[in-house]
């Protein structure tokens, strides 16, 4: 038996011992030979979502019509928000579902900046998700009073020097905002430690949980976080473009205001008063009518994560990223790949980036010829996402096996390097 075959046996043993193995059966998996390694970008479809959506469409919309606002829809942003609160260590009344992650960042960043009118520096890092940086650039442009972004620079996104963050924070810093898990490398920040650093300098803190929620334990209250936002279509399996969430610490709520004043944020939306009176609840960060189908289709994915339990999911995720990195070291590093993800489990989320100068073309062949679906992030990152809800250890072994084949037959040389994939 070769070394690689031994690893296959190990994967099978680990799967057999996996207490979460049963959850895979809760997802639609039409083609078991497809190895889906992109649950960190778009989570799989939970089987029960189909029934939920059929009920929302046929019974609620089709049959009960407008009455469903009263029956089931009007309180959905708070109700589902309360479930997400349980996943991020917040009180049920501190989280609401609304809009997109980018719009929620706009709302919370603007709210935070308004709380610190005498300061005009925003600190983030150059590895933050670009849309987050764009939103912040837009806030600076809009405020027209000298707000500037200072980017924390690091040698790379694998070994972030978190202690150096304090060097960027000063008496002029209004807001520090970072992604808990860095989208390219999977680097996992120490939220508690960095939040303390910012508070020590009198700055507010806003965490983007998009790349961590559902795969990493989060304790916003314990960590003293001021604001947070996040996405529900990755590890929460909420569906393509499912609405995002937004957290504001309870004691800040009556001192913050959304920059966008819509009727769903009003204390009494159906009074149709001519003057906006913000709700005294987290609802004040709502704007317009929520997209009900996308919102309610997202709920079963959140329920499943709660059922599996975030600590168990994290334990499996660490086991799986560790197993994959072991395979990487022995079987992929010799083929010209470098590891784009921290080696220490406490510093990484739930995906493993493997880097190669031909990464784009290799990713294309993986998808189009080998039925392994990762995603690609410029310039050379192939991201292998692990969703412990449904990823098996054997999937990781098969993925590596197929990547080895791609490198062996070198068919990627027949593909164009011109970028065509949009995700």
Which residues are known to be catalytic? 129, 208, 233-234, 383
Contact call for residues 93 and 250 (beta carbons, < 8 A): yes
In the block, which residue shows the tokens 């980036």? 353
By beta-carbon proximity to a copy of itself, the closer residue of 83 and 364 is 364
Binding of a copy of itself by 67 (CB under 8 A): yes
Tell me which residues in 98-117 interact with a copy of itself (CB under 8 A). Answer: 99-103, 106, 110
By beta-carbon proximity to a copy of itself, the closer residue of 242 and 386 is 242
- Looking at 287, 306, 333, 339, which residue binds a copy of itself (CB under 8 A)? 287
By beta-carbon proximity to a copy of itself, the closer residue of 342 and 374 is 374
- Looking at 270, 311, 344, 413, which residue binds a copy of itself (CB under 8 A)? 270
Binding of a copy of itself by 423 (CB under 8 A): yes
For residue 28, the minimal CB distance to a copy of itself (Å) is 4
Kind of pairing, strands 204-208 and 227-230? parallel
By beta-carbon proximity to a copy of itself, the closer residue of 20 and 53 is 53
Contact call for residues 68 and 255 (beta carbons, < 8 A): no
Binding of a copy of itself by 415 (CB under 8 A): no
Backbone angles phi, psi at 274, to 5 degrees: -85, -5
For residue 376, the minimal CB distance to a copy of itself (Å) is 9
Instruction: Give the number of C-alpha atoms closer than 13 A to the C-alpha of residue 393, restricted to the C-beta side.
Output: 23
Stretch of 15-23, 81-89, 274-282, 400-408 lying at the interface with a copy of itself (CB under 8 A)? 274-282
- Looking at 7, 179, 180, 258, which residue binds a copy of itself (CB under 8 A)? 258
CB atoms within 10 A of CB 217: 13
Q: No. of H helices and E strands in the chain? A: 13, 13
Binding of a copy of itself by 51 (CB under 8 A): no
For residue 186, the minimal CB distance to a copy of itself (Å) is 15
For residue 137, say if its preceding peptide bond is cis, omega within 30 degrees of 0.
Answer: no
Binding of a copy of itself by 130 (CB under 8 A): yes
Mapping DSSP to helix (H, G, I), strand (E, B) and coil, where does residue 175 land?
strand
By beta-carbon proximity to a copy of itself, the closer residue of 7 and 258 is 258
By beta-carbon proximity to a copy of itself, the closer residue of 387 and 403 is 387
Kind of pairing, strands 148-152 and 121-125? parallel
Mapping DSSP to helix (H, G, I), strand (E, B) and coil, where does residue 266 land?
strand
For 134, 177, 217, 230, 416, the CA distances from 180, given in Å and listed in that order, are 18, 9, 11, 10, 35
Binding of a copy of itself by 222 (CB under 8 A): no
Stretch of 164-172, 268-276, 301-309, 386-394 lying at the interface with a copy of itself (CB under 8 A)? 268-276
Return the closest-CA partner of residue 370 out of 44, 37, 39, 45: 37
Binding of a copy of itself by 274 (CB under 8 A): yes
In order, the DSSP letters of 304-371 are HHHHH-HHHHHHHHHHHHHHHHHHIIIIIGGGT-EE-S-SSGGGB-SEEEEE-TTHHHHHHHHHHHH-
Joined together, the tokens standing for residue 93 give 């009344």
By beta-carbon proximity to a copy of itself, the closer residue of 31 and 311 is 31
Tell me which residues in 12-41 interact with a copy of itself (CB under 8 A). Answer: 28, 30-31, 36, 38, 41
Binding of a copy of itself by 96 (CB under 8 A): no
Stretch of 15-23, 132-140, 158-166, 335-343 lying at the interface with a copy of itself (CB under 8 A)? 132-140
Joined together, the tokens standing for residue 334 give 């010799």
Helix or strand run (H / E) with residue 384:
strand 381-385
Binding of a copy of itself by 157 (CB under 8 A): no
Stretch of 7-15, 310-318, 320-328, 370-378 lying at the interface with a copy of itself (CB under 8 A)? 370-378
Stretch of 288-296, 340-348, 358-366, 405-413 lying at the interface with a copy of itself (CB under 8 A)? 288-296
Q: What's the rounded Cα separation, in Å, for the pair 35 and 29? A: 10
Binding of a copy of itself by 281 (CB under 8 A): no
Tell me which residues in 289-328 interact with a copy of itself (CB under 8 A). Answer: 289-295, 297
Number of residues binding to a copy of itself, judged by CB under 8 A: 88
Q: What's the rounded Cα separation, in Å, for the pair 310 and 256? A: 30
């Amino acid at each position: 038996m070769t070394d690689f075959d031994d690893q296959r046996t190990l994967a099978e043993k680990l799967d057999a011992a996996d207490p979460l193995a049963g959850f895979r059966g809760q997802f639609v998996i039409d083609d078991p030979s497809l190895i889906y390694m992109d649950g960190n970008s778009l989570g799989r479809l939970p089987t029960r979502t189909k029934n939920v959506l059929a009920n929302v469409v046929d019974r609620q919309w089709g049959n009960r019509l407008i009455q469903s606002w009263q029956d089931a829809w009007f309180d959905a942003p708070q109700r589902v928000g309360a479930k997400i609160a349980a996943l991020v260590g917040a009180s049920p009344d501190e989280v609401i579902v609304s809009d997109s992650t980018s719009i929620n960042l706009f709302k919370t960043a603007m709210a935070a900046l308004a709380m610190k009118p005498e300061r005009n520096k925003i600190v983030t890092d150059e590895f933050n998700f670009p849309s987050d940086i764009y939103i912040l650039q837009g806030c600076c442009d809009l405020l027209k009073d000298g707000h500037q972004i200072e980017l924390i620079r690091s040698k790379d996104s694998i070994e972030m020097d978190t202690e150096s963050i304090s060097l960027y924070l000063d008496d002029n810093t209004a807001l520090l905002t970072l992604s808990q898990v860095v989208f390219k490398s999977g680097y996992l920040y120490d939220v508690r430690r960095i939040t303390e650093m910012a508070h020590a300098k009198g700055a507010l803190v806003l965490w983007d949980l998009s790349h961590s929620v559902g795969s990493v334990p989060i304790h916003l209250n314990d960590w003293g976080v001021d604001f947070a936002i996040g996405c529900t279509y990755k590890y929460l399996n909420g569906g393509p473009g499912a609405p995002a969430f937004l957290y504001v610490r309870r004691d800040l709520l009556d001192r913050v205001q959304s920059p966008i004043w819509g009727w769903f944020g009003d204390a009494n939306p159906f009074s149709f008063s001519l003057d906006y009176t913000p709700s005294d609840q987290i609802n004040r960060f709502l704007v317009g009518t929520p997209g009900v189908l996308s919102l309610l289709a997202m709920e079963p994915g959140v329920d499943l994560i709660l059922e599996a339990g975030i600590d168990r999911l994290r334990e499996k995720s660490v086991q799986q990223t560790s197993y994959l990195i072991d395979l990487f070291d022995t079987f992929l590093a010799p083929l010209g790949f470098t590891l784009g993800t921290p080696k220490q489990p406490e510093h990484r989320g739930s995906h493993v980036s493997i880097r190669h100068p031909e990464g784009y073309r290799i990713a294309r062949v993986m998808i189009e010829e080998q039925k392994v679906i990762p995603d690609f992030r410029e310039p050379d990152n192939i991201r292998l996402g692990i969703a412990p809800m449904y990823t098996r250890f054997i999937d990781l072994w098969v993925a590596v096996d197929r990547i080895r084949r791609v490198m062996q037959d070198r068919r990627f040389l027949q593909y164009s390097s011109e970028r065509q994939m949009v995700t």
